[in-house]
Structure 1
Amino acid sequence: MSDDEQPIDNPNENIVLDLPSTSTINQPDQLEPQIPSSTSSSSINYLEQWRGKQKVFWFISIANGIAQMILFNIFPAFAAVVGVTSSMMGFLTSIRNLISSLFQGTFGRLSDKYGRKHLLLVGFFLIFAMTTILVFIHNPIMLVIVVILQSFSLSIIIPVWNAALGDVTEIKGRSTYIGKLTSAGYVVAVGVLLLIVGFFFLTDSYANRVVLGLTIPKLGWEIHYGVTFAIIAINFLFCFIGILFLRETRPVNSDKVNPKLRVAFKDKSFRKFLFINSLFGFTMAALWPIYPITQVRILGMSFYQVAICVAIFSICFGLFGFLGGKISDKIGRKPVILFSRLMMFTIPPLYIPAILFQQWWFLVLTNVVSGIGNGIFLVVTNSYALDLSSEQLMGAYSGLKEVAWGIATFLGSICAGFVTQALELSWTLERTIIVLVIVITVLRLVVAFGYLFVTESLTENDT
């Protein structure tokens, strides 16, 4: 533990690991009330049953990775093609961030108390239904309704699924395991996306030609995006089916304890992380509405070019998510998180040559850096929140982390969208975006150093 770190002010003196282990984290300066440990020999035996029975986790993670990766990278470009304005793009992005995060603390806490499975079933079915609707609608107003309901379903899925992974892992090796699952989904997603792109490239190349007596029609953007959304919906359906075969991961005796959510807020280490992470989330989200506008309205990128950027992002995300998790299990979470955030300030400046020279491949570089940094960050911060929590509050800690992030990114996205719209009245769109990315670059660099002050969640015994 480095000199600048404070003792972890966590409410449990001894956090019992999820899988049988004698190692614990000794936490001085305990907070009252303490939560009695629920891990008895029966719960240890329960968790032991998960060893060697991980196939269902791989199946769900891969399907979920495919669906979420393609959906949230393709949707902004789809919205821009449909005709969404700069301010509305900011609103869509911000409302998605807010709704998907706002209720995560609540649902995470409910899953801690009542179990994970039924909540996951509700979440995956709802997002499957909403994604299916995207196949058929191209109305900007309807997009708002769909985005709200999709985001609500994510507020169920994200904390509950992350907590389920916490149920079946121990603190040592947790980040590596979560990294493997996340990486698998994103790597397979690249293959799926390339198949989609290849199919549409062939149909467009041979459009209006007669092949085997059949005339190949010219497919418009409605078909391109419609088929893509259908594939995404099918993968969410696979997740729903996978959850049906998943046994409940909460220990059978978890109803004997009733820890209070306020305990998480009393954790000084967790509060400090939430504050710094939220500030950085604001700087991250400020760029999000600008990206699809640059893609479609300034550079005029085609579906294929957008898909190539998504594929490159996903490859980097999956690969470095796994490597970042593995490294953080060896050297600690803090240095890896700091590295991943410092990378993010290099992304906005790449928009400037892309706009000045009208070269879309500069955005390919932004996706390389973004994939590396975000892949590392997502895996390691998920593990970080689980490390700080007690066994009884894994869902709550994961959810609260996302709530704070969602509120911050909501504010960042909506501010960026309206500022862009306002500046367009006086400046050209190109000049507006160049000025904004310079400001965002400076903010990201300054705030990233705030992660120097977060507390390491691993002790020497855990690394």
Structure 2
Amino acid sequence: MVKSTDAQSTYPTEFWILFLTVFAAMLGLGIIGPLMPIFASRLGAAGIALGLVFSGFSLSRTITMPIVGYHSDKHGRKQFLVMGLILYSLISIGYLFTHNIIELIWLRLLHGMASAMVIPIAMAYAGELARRGKEGEMMGTFSIATMTGLGVGPLLGGVLTDWFGESAAFLALTVLSGFAAFLAFRFLPEQHGTRKKRSSGSFRENLKQVVQSRKIMGVLWFRFVMTLARGTIISFFPLYAAAVGQSLSNIGILLSINMLLMSLFQKPFGRLSDKTGWRLPFILAGMVLAAISLFLIPYAHSFVQLLILNLVMGIGGALAFPAAVALVVEFGRQIGMGSAMGYFNMALSTGMIFAPIFSGVIYDAVNIQAIFYINGTIILAGTVVFYGLIRSAKRTPA
């Protein structure tokens, strides 16, 4: 590892290996993003059943993540990451042989278990590489891999599906996940420097520390609430956009723009958060922007209008995420980075369980426009709750 400059010591060689590995995996996952709601609908899913397709993925992910995170603190991260990526590749082949909604839900459950071994573990790996005072910048930089992969993926997925059919998108996920597994296995070293520190404390003790910290509970609440926006966009925005006349390629572009803008601003907003120490204002601003843009979606009917709202939502995410994950890194140094990232991503998955089912109920009971009105209002109210938790944490020892 080269350590001749400050920049190089901040971003060691294994960071860039991890970056490329995660980018390849998320690119493959993003490719099937715009396809999945339409694929599920073609198999007979509607409303609640469509919500279950997405919630099944998140349910198994939620249950698995804290356990995997804790054991990665005990036994190392690389084996979990490689295993998860191999499972990604194998499971994606199963989508080609799915003929009904029940089979699809079972595959999504398995896919969620594999997912628990990828992003949370990769984030824990990156978190341990982050220098003190540089958490926002480094984790923001790392998030570029995730956001760019998930951002470019829908665009490629829409084009691949339009030109070559559904099979091409699922095969792309298989190939890219396999490539990511090879990169991790061949080039990513195991972390050993903080093994003793990472293995301290039982699973129950770690959970108790999380529950007793109002600051980290506030960050987990932020992650859950912001996932309402993300879950709604992933699950029902493609259907709304199609209903107002957008092609699958256009839908892919819209989803890509959202993620790519988040990717573009992650590093500068993370660096600014580090320099100013303004974690709370950045997170609050991001939540408000997400709520407003989601609420306004039913008023948008043209591609340009939908594009503007996705741009606003992307900026909101870029403001909030680096500041929030920096707080998680700081907490991870106390209980173990794998455990901390496991809980952080568990909050995301809990939101992904709730959002599609809740939105599906609204869709069945009212209409698709009501999904965006109600979820936007909930996120705005959730912003107030988040502020209260963080403010009380400043007055009360965590």
Asked if TM exceeds 0.5, the reply is: yes
- State the alpha-carbon separation in 2 of the partners of residues 238 and 136 from structure 1: 22
Higher helix share: 2
The one-letter amino acid paired with 1:278 is: F
1:320 pairs with 2:282:
no
Aligned to 1:63: 24
Contact 2:85 2:178 (C-alpha < 8 Å) held by counterparts? yes
Contact 2:155 2:255 (C-alpha < 8 Å) held by counterparts? no
C-alpha displacement at 1:126, in angstroms? 0.9
Range that drifts further, 165-174 or 273-282: 273-282
**What is the CA deviation profile of residues 350-409 of structure 1, one whole-angstrom value per residue up to 9, with x for unaligned ones?**
33233xxx5344332332223222344444333221112325511111111222332244
C-alpha displacement at 1:200, in angstroms? 7.3
1:97 pairs with 2:58:
yes
The 1:284/1:133 distance shift into structure 2, 3 A limit, reads closer
C-alpha displacement at 1:344, in angstroms? 0.8
Aligned with residue 251 of structure 1, among 162, 173, 193: 193
Aligned with residue 171 of structure 2, among 204, 207, 230: 230
Structure 1 residue matching 2:180: 3-state secondary structure: helix
Aligned with residue 385 of structure 1, among 325, 328, 337: 328
Aligned to 1:134: 95
C-alpha displacement at 1:124, in angstroms? 0.9
The one-letter amino acid paired with 2:262 is: F
Superposed counterparts of 1:221-300, under 5 Å: 223-244=164-185, 245-251=187-193, 253-254=195-196, 257-260=199-202, 261=206, 262-275=208-221, 277-279=223-225, 281-282=227-228, 285=231, 289-296=235-242, 298-300=243-245
Unaligned runs of 5+ in 2: 4-8
Contact 1:63 1:238 (C-alpha < 8 Å) held by counterparts? yes
The one-letter amino acid paired with 2:191 is: T
The one-letter amino acid paired with 1:452 is: Y
- State the alpha-carbon separation in 1 of the partners of residues 350 and 176 from structure 2: 28
The one-letter amino acid paired with 2:302 is: Q
Superposition CA RMSD, Å: 3.1
- State the alpha-carbon separation in 2 of the partners of residues 49 and 336 from structure 1: 23
Which of these two proteins has the greater Rg computed from alpha carbons? 1
The one-letter amino acid paired with 1:419 is: I
Structure 2 residue matching 1:347: 3-state secondary structure: helix
Aligned with residue 275 of structure 2, among 330, 334, 354: 330
Contact 2:282 2:319 (C-alpha < 8 Å) held by counterparts? yes
Superposed counterparts of 1:335-346, under 5 Å: 335-346=281-292
C-alpha displacement at 1:54, in angstroms? 3.7
- State the alpha-carbon separation in 2 of the partners of residues 405 and 314 from structure 1: 16
The one-letter amino acid paired with 2:293 is: I
Contact 1:112 1:393 (C-alpha < 8 Å) held by counterparts? yes
Aligned to 2:296: 350
C-alpha displacement at 1:255, in angstroms? 7.5
The one-letter amino acid paired with 1:314 is: M
C-alpha displacement at 1:110, in angstroms? 0.6
Contact 2:40 2:53 (C-alpha < 8 Å) held by counterparts? no
C-alpha displacement at 1:303, in angstroms? 2.3
Contact 2:294 2:373 (C-alpha < 8 Å) held by counterparts? yes
Structure 2 residue matching 1:389: 3-state secondary structure: helix
Aligned to 1:396: 339
Identity %: 19
C-alpha displacement at 1:166, in angstroms? 1.4
- State the alpha-carbon separation in 2 of the partners of residues 300 and 196 from structure 1: 19
Aligned with residue 126 of structure 2, among 165, 183, 193: 165
Structure 2 residue matching 1:156: 3-state secondary structure: coil
- State the alpha-carbon separation in 2 of the partners of residues 284 and 183 from structure 1: 17
Contact 1:385 1:398 (C-alpha < 8 Å) held by counterparts? yes
The 1:433/1:169 distance shift into structure 2, 3 A limit, reads same
The 1:69/1:366 distance shift into structure 2, 3 A limit, reads farther
Contact 2:153 2:256 (C-alpha < 8 Å) held by counterparts? no
1:446 pairs with 2:381:
yes
- State the alpha-carbon separation in 2 of the partners of residues 70 and 418 from structure 1: 27
1:87 pairs with 2:33:
no
C-alpha displacement at 1:199, in angstroms? 7.1
The 1:345/1:200 distance shift into structure 2, 3 A limit, reads closer
The 1:105/1:308 distance shift into structure 2, 3 A limit, reads same
- State the alpha-carbon separation in 1 of the partners of residues 365 and 269 from structure 2: 40
- State the alpha-carbon separation in 2 of the partners of residues 328 and 396 from structure 1: 24
Contact 1:111 1:160 (C-alpha < 8 Å) held by counterparts? yes
Contact 1:321 1:379 (C-alpha < 8 Å) held by counterparts? yes
Aligned to 2:305: 362
Contact 2:291 2:379 (C-alpha < 8 Å) held by counterparts? yes
Aligned to 1:13: none
The 1:313/1:437 distance shift into structure 2, 3 A limit, reads closer
- State the alpha-carbon separation in 2 of the partners of residues 391 and 325 from structure 1: 22
The one-letter amino acid paired with 1:302 is: S
Superposed counterparts of 1:200-211, under 5 Å: none
The one-letter amino acid paired with 1:414 is: I
Aligned with residue 138 of structure 2, among 151, 164, 177: 177
Contact 1:350 1:365 (C-alpha < 8 Å) held by counterparts? no
Aligned to 1:212: none
C-alpha displacement at 1:109, in angstroms? 0.6
Superposed counterparts of 1:20-59, under 5 Å: 51-59=12-20
Aligned with residue 249 of structure 2, among 304, 308, 316: 304
Unaligned runs of 5+ in 1: 1-18, 20-47, 202-218, 424-431
Superposed counterparts of 1:114-129, under 5 Å: 114-129=75-90
Contact 1:183 1:319 (C-alpha < 8 Å) held by counterparts? yes
C-alpha displacement at 1:189, in angstroms? 6.4
Aligned with residue 411 of structure 1, among 330, 351, 354: 354
TM superposition score normalised by structure 1: 0.72
The one-letter amino acid paired with 1:230 is: L
